[in-house]
Amino acid sequence: MLKEIFSAEMLRLMGAGLLETLYMTAVSSAAAYAIGLVIGVVLVIGREDGIRPMPRLCRLLGWIVNFVRSAPFLIFVVFVMPVTRFITGTTLGATAMLVPLTLGGAPFIARMVESSLREVDAGVIEAAQSMGAGAWQLVTRVLLPEARPSLISGAAISVTTILSYSALAGFLGGGGLGAIATNYGYYRGNSQIMLVMIVALVLLVQLVQTVGGYLARRADRRIK
């Protein structure tokens, strides 16, 4: 078993799988955060007592976010396969998995962003409003800067969540470390390969959390 794990072919596969996992996680995290950030901001400023009340839109967005978040990811991947095929031309491979990873991660990020922005002191917002700041200025110069440490911490959590999603996608032909664990570990009954893939994923999660925690501390003006 150990000889198979450390063979040249398996090491090559692991290297390629690691790159695919990093590719899926990085690209889909960036796309999902861009979408989730917008949704999260709208959910905060558009509530009934918000800066720019849009209760109907917020209720609709809230329902969509809750619906997607409540769906198990493997089922969600199957559910959006028509969309994935339309965008990428296939449902297999790392690039194809960018679609469900992005669509599945964005609602989670939206809630993280919403929670972070809600932590901003209302007094700071009121002070900016009293000085004539508009909605766009309140978002870009008050809400987002004040919530930066929490947003960074939330981003780290979101990346680790999408990383775990990418591993699950391996069961449906998504590629990456999850596909190696499935094809060469689970289906062949090789628990050692599965263990190596688990360790690799755990190390990636720890790396993301460490970097995210460091950046969040650097952005927190209260501890400078």
Q: Span 2-21, mean pLDDT? A: 78
SS3 for the chain is CHHHHCCHHHHHHHHHHHHHHHHHHHHHHHHHHHHHHHHHHHHHHCCCCCCCCCHHHHHHHHHHHHHHHHCCHHHHHHHCHHHHHHHHCCCCCHHHHHHHHHHHHHHHHHHHHHHHHHCCCHHHHHHHHHCCCCHHHHHHHHHHHHCHHHHHHHHHHHHHHHHHHHHHHHHHCCCHHHHHHHHHHHCCCCHHHHHHHHHHHHHHHHHHHHHHHHHHHHHCHHHC
Pick the more confident residue, 210 or 173. Answer: 210
Q: What is the pLDDT of residue 25?
A: 92
Q: What is the pLDDT of residues 73-113, one digit of tens each?
A: 888 998 999 999 999 988 888 899 999 999 999 999 999 99
Pick the more confident residue, 21 or 191. Answer: 21
Alpha-carbon gap, residue 104 to 107, rounded angstroms: 7
Number of domains in the chain: 1
Q: Do the Cβ atoms of 24 and 175 come closer than 8 Å?
A: yes
Q: What is the pLDDT of residue 112?
A: 92
Residue 113 domain-assigned (yes or no): yes
Residue 33 domain-assigned (yes or no): yes
Q: Do the Cβ atoms of 108 and 69 come closer than 8 Å?
A: yes
Q: What is the pLDDT of residues 61-71, one digit of tens each?
A: 999 999 988 88
Residue 5 domain-assigned (yes or no): no
Residue 7 domain-assigned (yes or no): no
For the ranges 4-13, 53-62, 174-183, the lowest mean pLDDT is seen at 4-13
Q: Do the Cβ atoms of 210 and 157 come closer than 8 Å?
A: no
Q: Is the pLDDT of residue 223 over 60?
A: no
Share of the chain above pLDDT 90, in %: 28
Q: What is the pLDDT of residues 157-201, one digit of tens each?
A: 999 999 988 888 888 878 888 888 888 887 877 788 888 888 888
Residue 1 domain-assigned (yes or no): no
* Whole-structure pTM value: 0.87
Q: Which domain holds residue 153?
A: 12-223
Alpha-carbon gap, residue 159 to 29, rounded angstroms: 6
Q: What is the pLDDT of residues 183-195, one digit of tens each?
A: 888 787 778 888 8
What CATH number is associated with residue 131? Answer: 1.10.3720.10
Q: What is the pLDDT of residue 4?
A: 61
Q: What is the pLDDT of residue 92?
A: 86
Q: How far apart are the first and last CA of the chain?
A: 51
Residue 147 domain-assigned (yes or no): yes
The closest alpha carbon to 176, from 189, 163, 188, belongs to 163
**Axis-axis angle for helices 94-118, 148-169 (nearest 10):** 150
Residue 166 domain-assigned (yes or no): yes
Q: How many CB atoms lie within 10 A of CB 104?
A: 25
Residue 193 domain-assigned (yes or no): yes
